[in-house]
A and B are shown apart, each in its own frame.
Chain A
Amino acid sequence: MSVELSNYIALSAVMFFIGVTGVVVRRNPLIVLMSIELMLNAANLALVAFSRAWVNTAGHVFVFLVVTVAAAEAAIGLAIVVAAFRRAKNVDVDEVSRLHG
């Protein structure tokens, strides 16, 4: 591996925190979901880099599992967004607060 493992991990960390910032700051639920995808992909990058360093396929299988979870999460999240939009015509994450108590 010509590039150091720590470079990949640093890149993954930067991408993860960009995703965290998106989740915390944005109010559009679609962009919040996209930021979650960014975070999952950063974790995937770290897993693939470690897997390459150890020459072990277990990391690849775990990335496969993460991709599946991301697909399920996107489908259910977007279904919730559509359902909330059907009820309220407004899906701002600050204003969908009926479960707030």
Chain B
Amino acid sequence: MIAFYALSIVLIASAIFTVTQRSPVYSVVGLLVNFITLATLFFTLNAEFLGVIQLVVYSGAILMLFVFVIALLSSGVGPFSEGPDRLPRILLPAILSVLAGFGFLAFGVLHAPLGTPPVAHSASVLGPVGSANVFGSVGDFGVALFTTQLLPFEVTAFILMVAVIGVVAIAGDAVPQATRGRHVRRKRSKDREPIVKAGR
């Protein structure tokens, strides 16, 4: 109980930190704290495999991608103009939309109470986190993934393939269209400076 409240305070604080920071590098740090806290929350919810996935895929892969793109974009030039602050203009619609969203949510929760549901149809059994073949363990998740939920798993593979093709099509071209044909050709190997000088 205390762990939940401590984790939720850290989660919300790091989310606000991520959104409000001026520099994207600080935002990445806030997002890292957010993801690690969320992985801990997953562990408290018996989802040990998803907690590990959260740590590896989000904190490891996706945030590393963000850091690399920040390093690539902000080397030497400032790519973000200091234009007019649009926060005052958008503040009222933002507050209204957030209030409307919370209103819908409160309406939904109050009119369909989240009571304790029956667990009779479940194939999994609850148990302590970390023991074998309980709900949320690797074995339990794997059985669900490869038997009853096989189609979403195959859709996952398709999504990843589409993403790879899309990234190569968008960013794979090393020469920008604007300078194509005018850029200096690379030297042929016999004209190039030798890497190791001979005769010394």
Judged by a CB distance under 8 angstroms, whether B119 is at the interface is: yes
Residue from the list B12, B66, B143 in contact with A30, Cβ < 8 A: B66
Q: Which residue of A lies closest to B105 (CB)?
A: A13
Contact A6 B109 (CB under 8 A): yes
Judged by a CB distance under 8 angstroms, whether B131 is at the interface is: no
Residue from the list B69, B116, B121, B122 in contact with A82, Cβ < 8 A: B69
> With a CB–CB cut-off of 8 A, which chain B residues contact A56?
121-122, 124
CB within 8 Å of B: which A57-101 residues: 57-58, 60-65, 67-76, 78-83, 85-87, 89-92, 94-95
Judged by a CB distance under 8 angstroms, whether B97 is at the interface is: yes
> With a CB–CB cut-off of 8 A, which chain B residues contact A79?
166-167, 170-171
Q: Which residue of A lies closest to B51 (CB)?
A: A48
Query: Beyond A48-B42, A72-B160, is A61–B149 a contact (Cβ under 8 Å)?
Result: yes
Q: What is the total of A-B residue contacts with beta carbons within 8 Å?
A: 228
Residues of A contacting B: mostly: helix
Judged by a CB distance under 8 angstroms, whether B79 is at the interface is: yes
CB within 8 Å of A: which B1-60 residues: 1, 4, 8, 11-12, 15-16, 18-19, 21, 24, 27-28, 31, 34-35, 38, 41-42, 45-47, 49-50, 53-54, 57-58
> With a CB–CB cut-off of 8 A, which chain A residues contact B69?
30, 78, 81-82
Residue from the list A9, A31, A75, A90 in contact with B79, Cβ < 8 A: A90
Q: Which residue of A lies closest to B12 (CB)?
A: A14
Residues of B that sit less than 8 Å from A by CB? 1, 4, 8, 11-12, 15-16, 18-19, 21, 24, 27-28, 31, 34-35, 38, 41-42, 45-47, 49-50, 53-54, 57-58, 61-62, 65-66, 69-70, 72-73, 77, 79-81, 83, 86-87, 90, 93-94, 97-98, 101-102, 105, 109, 114, 116-117, 119, 121-126, 135-136, 140-141, 143-145, 148-149, 152-153, 155-156, 159-160, 162-164, 166-167, 170-171, 176-178
